[in-house]
């Protein structure tokens, strides 16, 4: 009963109370003043985080691997809002070498908010059938980027005694996910990294937020037509980001979207073994859907 009460309170606080409050522009607060840096900023949730905070008046630094997309997103957002945008082309899958470039490009820029959004996933598949190259890239991007980019930017936030770090994790961290074994494990890393960091920087007036979405209708879930179609359980990136941004500065942990908060809380009530069993059954079906999706694409060519 206590667990049910705590879960309900968590949902109400992180996904219901905050959206009902009058939203204050981040530029009017000491905590969030200055520049927003977003990784994985040309698609999905990252792009919509950038758009939403540009709407609030923040200048942006967008980081992604495709120059053409960065230019397109920059032009799109600048045409909508009176903000300045700098973009940086890097491929986080290259590992350590990209961070010196990012540090040099950010020299002299006061970063107020860092959104560690970049990540990758593979179609549902058993580990033995996922290529080694894909696994190395997944681990390097999903865990390396959040760790090393935070390490690069954190000293300036500590020096100014203000800032916010937003880490995009996933509800998949809640239990092992067979057929997405490495991906779910990498998201558990982000959970523990975020919660440990939160305590480390609390005395420096730095806010760390862990965001754990469930399915969002983005290109990352292209293997599932049902998810891509969207709906109540599968918000699009625009709706999800607007909801998640409302919680920034008000809670250190959120699922970002009210339906996802309910799903997460209900799943958490079940024992780990039960959650893993149902996760296994779900992604077995999604694995078949992904195989069928690939087959259809191959038949088109």
Catalytic residue, chosen from 49, 99, 183, 264, is 183
Residue in this structure with the two tokens 């908010």, named with its chain if needed: 113
Q: Is 183 a catalytic residue?
A: yes
Annotate 226-278 with three-state secondary structure: HHHCCCCCCCEHHHHHHHHHHCCCCCCEECCCHHHHHHHHHHHHCCHHHHHHH
The rounded distance, in Å, linking the Cα atoms of 234 and 246 is: 19
The rounded distance, in Å, linking the Cα atoms of 229 and 217 is: 7
Q: Are 166 and 153 in contact (CB under 8 A)?
A: no
Query: Left, alpha or beta for 112 (phi > 0: left; psi -120 to 50: alpha)?
Result: alpha
- Token pair for residue 188? 């558990």
Residue of 256, 271, 194, 175 whose CA lies nearest to 11:
256
* Residues with a known catalytic role: 183
């Amino acid at each position: 009963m206590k667990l049910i009460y705590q879960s309900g309170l968590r949902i109400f606080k992180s996904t219901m109370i905050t959206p009902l409050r009058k939203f204050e522009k981040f530029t009017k607060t000491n905590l969030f003043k200055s520049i927003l840096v977003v990784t994985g900023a040309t698609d999905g949730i990252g792009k919509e985080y950038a758009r939403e905070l540009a709407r609030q008046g923040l200048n942006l630094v967008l980081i992604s691997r495709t120059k053409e997309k960065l230019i397109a997103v920059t032009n799109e957002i600048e045409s909508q809002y009176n903000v300045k945008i700098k973009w940086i082309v890097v491929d986080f899958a290259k590992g350590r070498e990209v961070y010196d470039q990012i540090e040099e490009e950010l020299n002299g820029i006061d970063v107020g908010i860092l959104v560690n959004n970049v990540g990758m996933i593979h179609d549902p598949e058993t580990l033995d059938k996922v290529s080694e190259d894909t696994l190395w890239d997944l681990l390097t991007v999903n865990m390396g980027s959040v760790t090393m980019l935070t390490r690069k930017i954190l000293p300036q936030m500590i020096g100014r005694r203000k800032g916010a770090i937003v880490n995009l994790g996933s509800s998949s961290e809640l239990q092992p996910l067979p057929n997405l074994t490495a991906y779910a494990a990498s998201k558990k890393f982000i959970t523990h990294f975020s919660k440990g960091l939160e305590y480390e920087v609390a005395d420096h007036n730095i806010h760390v937020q862990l965001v754990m979405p469930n399915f969002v209708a983005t290109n990352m879930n292209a293997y599932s037509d049902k998810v891509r179609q969207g709906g109540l359980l599968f918000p699009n990136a625009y709706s999800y980001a607007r909801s998640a941004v409302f919680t920034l500065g008000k809670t250190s942990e959120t699922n970002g979207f009210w339906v996802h908060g309910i799903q997460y809380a209900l799943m958490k009530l079940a024992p780990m073994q039960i959650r893993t069993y149902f996760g296994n059954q779900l992604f077995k079906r999604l694995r078949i859907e992904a195989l069928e999706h690939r087959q259809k694409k191959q038949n088109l060519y």
